[in-house]
Amino acid sequence: MHPGPDALSPTAHVWLVTGCSSGLGRMLVPAILARGDKVIATARRLSDLDYIQGLEGAKALQLDLTDSDEIHREKANEAIRAFGQVDVVVNNAGYVHSGVWEEVSHEDTLRQFDTNFFGALKVTRSLLPHMRSRKSGVVLYMSSIAGWVGVGAGGPYSSSKFALEGAVECLQKETSHLGIRTHLLVLGQFRTGILSTEKTVGQLRPSTIEDYDIVKQELADRHAATNGLQPGKPEAAVERILDIVREENLTGAQRGNLPLRIPIGSDAVEVMKRKCVETLQVLEDWGEFASSTDYAGKQATSLKYGQS
Ligand SMILES: NC(=O)c1ccc[n+]([C@@H]2O[C@H](COP(=O)([O-])OP(=O)(O)OC[C@H]3O[C@@H](n4cnc5c(N)ncnc54)[C@H](OP(=O)(O)O)[C@@H]3O)[C@@H](O)[C@H]2O)c1
């Protein structure tokens, strides 16, 4: 009997990707299929996934990250039923909210976190039981250079990505012994529509608090100058993501030893390096001062914070 389009070869992975209406999520869909894997593409509106009709091995699933845990569980079950398993989750959906502390409302900050942070937590929580029971899975998160370095008026977006960095680091330590692989993809700037005026939300225009006009203008100018001219080619980023998951096109040293954080984009490499160098310099300059707070004759403990 000829296997149907939903039949899985033993080496094929089933992916679930959030935010497939545009950008990196949308580009991932054909790239995943091209390597022989299957994909469940999700979007807030099913009509945004019309492009997958007729693509063998791809299925559409409506999913709004801000939905309740209960709905996320139902959607996860629907996703598992689509091909019988989910091997890879790409927590991709997200957007940029900009503005200064004093002007961004609590509700707007919550909305930003609801998608970029809590949404990724909910998707992961809904699929972890499945991955635990199978003792396998790969979970990816779209982090950002904005999750490494903050810029003025970039607080809502940056803090949502910084939060993701911390939470995912903990998740990795909770689940790596269960056969679940977790990665934070620290993306540089890629040429999608993410910085277009239709996509970004927030308040960067001058307003009643003139003191902040210069800070907001700087970010608005930076967005305008970057939009459409980002150094990163999204099609290439998508291929690197496939390489990471499928452990293909990697060196021998990289294969089987993939770190939690993986930079994607030359600017990501540069930003992460700069942050590390700056941090090392602070430790060099302030290490003695900081260490002056220990008890005299302190007990040496073998339990170092954060080390396994
Ligand atoms: N491009 C870059 O330079 C860059 C750099 C660093 C990190 N990233 C991260 O990479 C990811 C993808 O970004 P992109 O560049 O591909 O941007 P994009 O083209 O704007 O795509 C973002 C996707 O997220 C979806 N989304 C937003 N809110 C959602 C919600 N509540 N529920 C479900 N889906 C929602 C959007 O759907 P709608 O069409 O319904 O809005 C869209 O499909 C994001 O997490 C972003 O933060 C991108």
Q: Which pair of tokens denotes residue 251?
A: 């060196």
* Per-residue pLDDT, 249: 98
158 lines ligand 1 (CB under 6 A): no
pLDDT given for residue 302 in this prediction: 66
Report if residue 216 sits inside a domain: yes
pLDDT of 207 = 85
3-class DSSP assignment, residue 109? helix
Token reading at 2: 């000829």
- Confirm whether 295 is domain-assigned: no
Q: Is the CB of 154 under 6 A from ligand 1?
A: no
CA 184, CA 140: separation in Å to the nearest integer?
6
In a domain, 304, yes or no: no
Regions of the chain with pLDDT less than 50: 1
Tens of pLDDT along 182-199?
A: 999 999 999 999 999 889
DSSP E strands in the chain: the ranges are 14-17, 38-43, 58-62, 88-91, 97-98, 137-144, 180-187, 201-202, 261-264
Ligand 1 center to 298 CA (angstroms):
49
What is the C-alpha separation between 301 and 291, in angstroms, rounded?
15
The pLDDT value recorded for residue 152 is 98
141 given a catalytic annotation? no
Confidence at residue 1, expressed as pLDDT on a 0 to 100 scale: 45
Closest Cα to atom 24 of ligand 1: 93
**The one catalytic residue among 51, 157, 212, 295:** 157
At residue 10, the pLDDT reads: 80
Q: Classify 137 in phi/psi space as left (phi over 0), alpha (psi -120 to 50) or beta.
A: left
If phi > 0 it is left, if psi is from -120 to 50 it is alpha, else beta; for residue 58 that is: beta
Quote the pLDDT of residue 209.
Answer: 95
The pLDDT of residue 206: 86
**Is 141 within the bounds of a domain?**
yes
In a domain, 185, yes or no: yes
Q: Is 111 close to ligand 1, i.e. is its CB under 6 Å away?
A: no
Which CATH number characterizes residue 92's domain?
Answer: 3.40.50.720
Q: What domain range includes position 142?
A: 14-288
Task: Assess if residue 6 is contained within a domain.
Answer: no
Q: For residue 194, report the distance from its CA to the centre of ligand 1, in Å.
A: 7
Ligand 1 site, residue 44, Cβ cutoff 6 A: yes
Measure 282 CA to ligand 1 centroid, in angstroms.
34
Dihedral in degrees, nearest 10, Cα atoms 58, 59, 65, 71: -150
The structural domain count of the chain equals: 1
Let me know if residue 7 belongs to a domain.
no
Which of 46, 95, 114, 264 is the best mutation target for the ligand 1 pocket, counting ligand atoms within 8 Å of the beta carbon and taking the most?
95
- Could you tell me if residue 18 is inside a domain? yes
* pLDDT given for residue 213 in this prediction: 96
